[in-house]
Structure 1
Amino acid sequence: MNILIGLLSLVIGAFISFYVFNKKLLNSREENIQLKATLEEKEKSFVEKSKFVDQLKSQVNHDFKALASDILKNDRDKLKIDNSDLLTPLQTQLKGFRDRIETITKEQIEERTSLKEQIKSLHEANRETQQSAQNLTNALTYDNKLQGDWGEEILSSLLSSYGFQEGIEFDLQKQYKSETGEKFKPDVILHLPEGKDVVIDSKVSLKDYVDYVADQTNEEALKKHIASIDNQIKNISIKEYENLEGVRSLDFIFVFIPIEGALLLALQHKHSLFDDALKKNIMLVSPSMLSMSLKTVNFMWQTDKQNKNADEIARQAGKMYDKLAGFFSDLDKIESQLDKTKEGFSDARKKLQTGPGNLIGRAEKLKALGVKSNKDISE
């Protein structure tokens, strides 16, 4: 029984489901028919719109081509007119530019010609300058007197550059006598503080040095240059400048070589040259080496002046203290005298007015006795 009821329920459910499904299917078919009709209408409308767009594009292309043709025609005509307006000023400018180029070219040719003349003159002046320089070199090389004057001038300029004054800190070519009465003229006597002196000699021949510089294969000139310095060392040592009257020389003498390279060349090829000179109490110096010594001497003078100033300040301070002490002593004396004067004044006042038997008291008594007077002492 239960099975029969279950089967019946199943059949009824299946029938109901079929009915509902069939109903939906019919509805779907109707909707599909409607959608198909709508789609056909839209397709037809799209085709019509596409035809319209194609016609519109064709018309636009036609109109654009016509318009472009008109514009090109108008621009072509206008361009002819504009080109005429533009080319005329341009041609004028080109003509002016061409004229300017021709003018500049002409000026450049004239300037080049003038420059050639100036260069020619410059070459001539340079040749004359070189000749003058060569003449000066020859004079300095072969004229011993002129060479000596030149070395002394360099030495004097170097001394002046450090603030040394001729006649004060140094003397040039001043004549001195030796102990034997022989006369000497050292090139420079450089004075030091405390009365010391430095003798500087600059009489060194540079002829062979110049010859060697001109031809560095000239070994003979090099040997002569070194020998020239050696000879000068010997000559200076013989003169005994340290024994000159009025000169308190240090234990060594400077031999000044005015060209830096001349001394360096000699020292490079004869290493013992410097020591050989020192053994004779002679120091070889170039401008740079002498400058270091002059700096030291300048410092010594400054220190000496400062010390002298300090001594003078101390001396003046001592005098001022003595004056101040004397002033206080005088004040004490004045005070003592004032005290004595005050005592004398007090004694006189007592005799006149306040002391027993004072003069004013007696005068008043006389007045009381009938002495006539026009004034009153109390007034």
Structure 2
Amino acid sequence: MDVLSLVLGLVLGAVVVFVLLNKLKIENTKLQTRLEEQSKTFDFMQSSKTKMDEEFKKIASEVLKKDSVNLHEKNADLLNPLKTQIDDFRKKIEGLSNEQAKDRSVLGEQIKTLSDAHKHTLEGAEKLTNALTYDNKQQGDWGEMVLESILKDSGLNKNEQYHTQSTLKDEDGKILRPDVVIHLPEDKDIIIDSKVSLKHYQEYISGDIDALAKHIKSIDTHIKNISLKSYENLDGVNTLDYIFVFFPIEASLLVALEQKPDLFNNALKKNVALVSPSTLMMSLKTINHIWNTERQNQNTEEIMRQAGAMYDKLVGFMDSMKDIENHLNKAQEGYQDAYNKLHNGKGNLIGRAEKLKELGVQSKKELK
């Protein structure tokens, strides 16, 4: 009986032990399975963290690279026109300086030119003596030659600031060919006539005293004829109040004015101004000075315009730089916020992953 009880007890104990062992085995299997799942989860999180780090670095790199490229392109777009305008601005300043230097030398050149004008007159005196003994056509050609020489020495540019022998029409369709048309700023013009006859003047200086009165009468007649031509009505010409009548020999005008002092004022009343080589040269030099001043004023206006445009470009450039700075700051803030969620703060992903490892999750890699 005791043996039977002992055997039964052993059997019962063995059964109990078997049941307990089997239960423990099942629990162990479940636990092992759970640990394996947690280990896989940890590995996945570790891998995700690595990928996220790489992705964030890639995104940040791309953002910075893109902003850098945009910054470079915007800088090029803004700085290249700015550089061009600065170069233009410098050239205009240099041009203005050269114009001013040139203008300062004009006064000295005027004295020399006046001397040259007298020299040309003296050199032409002998030629005139021969020319005046022939017909009026030769006299006119000689006068035009002297006038052309003075125009050349005045500094004005032919076919730009003056034209010779232009074919023009008045309001009635009549064709007129003024010897010279001088152009002034603001679309104003001066007409010069060089067809005054010096035949009687030559007779006078040759010893015919009575020829002086004929010379003066010839001038009066020429003034009257010029005043009747109505040059102010020519198409394409906007004349000033006076037409210049040119005397190629200084003395031919002076002797007439000495004999008849009111000759000059009477001509002015008919809108005709009597000019000699010296007075015409001074007038042309004044006109040339006016043109130089006009060019300087235009250059100054252009410089001011370009300076304003350059300043506007600079303001736009600074605004663009500020906009780029804001975008870079936003990109940096976005990257830092994502990084903090991964690494810092309560419940961050790195902290949670480390806790899983502490609970026994197996991993082949270490978080850095």
Where does residue 275 of structure 1 map in the other structure?
265
Which one of 251, 263, 268 corresponds to residue 261 of structure 1?
A: 251
Alpha-carbon distance between aligned partners in 1 of 2:322 and 2:127, rounded to the nearest angstrom:
85
Where does residue 307 of structure 1 map in the other structure?
297
Give the aligned residue type for 1:208. H
Q: Does 1:371 align with 2:363?
A: yes
Where does residue 317 of structure 1 map in the other structure?
307
Give the aligned residue type for 1:144. N
Where does residue 182 of structure 2 map in the other structure?
190
Where does residue 219 of structure 2 map in the other structure?
229
- TM-superposition CA deviations, 1:147-198 (whole Å, max 9, x none): 2222122112212212101011111111111111111111111111111111
User: Is the contact between residue 141 and residue 206 of structure 1 (CA under 8 Å) also seen in structure 2?
Assistant: no
Alpha-carbon distance between aligned partners in 2 of 1:330 and 1:185, rounded to the nearest angstrom:
62
Alpha-carbon distance between aligned partners in 2 of 1:146 and 1:357, rounded to the nearest angstrom:
114
Alpha-carbon distance between aligned partners in 2 of 1:347 and 1:353, rounded to the nearest angstrom:
10
Which one of 203, 216, 233 corresponds to residue 211 of structure 1?
A: 203
Q: Secondary structure of the equivalent of 1:180?
A: coil
Which one of 325, 345, 351 corresponds to residue 341 of structure 2?
A: 351
TM value normalised by structure 1: 0.59
State the identity %: 57
Give the aligned residue type for 1:196. K
The structural deviation recorded for 1:331 is 2.0
User: Is the contact between residue 189 and residue 200 of structure 1 (CA under 8 Å) also seen in structure 2?
Assistant: yes
Where does residue 210 of structure 2 map in the other structure?
220
Gaps of 5+ in 1: 1-132
Alignment of 1:61-210 (within 5 A): 137-210=129-202
Alpha-carbon distance between aligned partners in 1 of 2:137 and 2:271, rounded to the nearest angstrom:
26
Give the aligned residue type for 1:169. Q
More moved, 348-357 vs 171-180: 348-357
Which one of 336, 356, 370 corresponds to residue 326 of structure 2?
A: 336
Give the aligned residue type for 2:232. E
Q: Which has the higher contact order (CA 8 A, sep 6+)?
A: 2
- TM-superposition CA deviations, 1:224-247 (whole Å, max 9, x none): 211221121111111111111111
Over the residues paired in the alignment, what is the CA RMSD in angstroms? 2.2
The structural deviation recorded for 1:283 is 0.4
Where does residue 327 of structure 1 map in the other structure?
317
Query: How has the CA–CA distance of structure 1 residues 341 and 141 changed in structure 2, closer, same or farther, with 3 Å as cutoff?
Result: farther
Alpha-carbon distance between aligned partners in 1 of 2:301 and 2:143, rounded to the nearest angstrom:
40
Give the aligned residue type for 2:332. K
Give the aligned residue type for 1:200. I
Task: Give the number of equivalent residue pairs.
Answer: 242
More moved, 150-159 vs 138-147: 138-147
User: Is the contact between residue 131 and residue 142 of structure 2 (CA under 8 Å) also seen in structure 1?
Assistant: no
Alpha-carbon distance between aligned partners in 2 of 1:280 and 1:362, rounded to the nearest angstrom:
110
Alpha-carbon distance between aligned partners in 2 of 1:233 and 1:198, rounded to the nearest angstrom:
16
- Compare CA radii of gyration and give the structure with the larger one: 1
Give the aligned residue type for 1:354. N
Alpha-carbon distance between aligned partners in 2 of 1:271 and 1:299, rounded to the nearest angstrom:
31
Alpha-carbon distance between aligned partners in 1 of 2:279 and 2:175, rounded to the nearest angstrom:
29
- TM-superposition CA deviations, 1:83-128 (whole Å, max 9, x none): xxxxxxxxxxxxxxxxxxxxxxxxxxxxxxxxxxxxxxxxxxxxxx
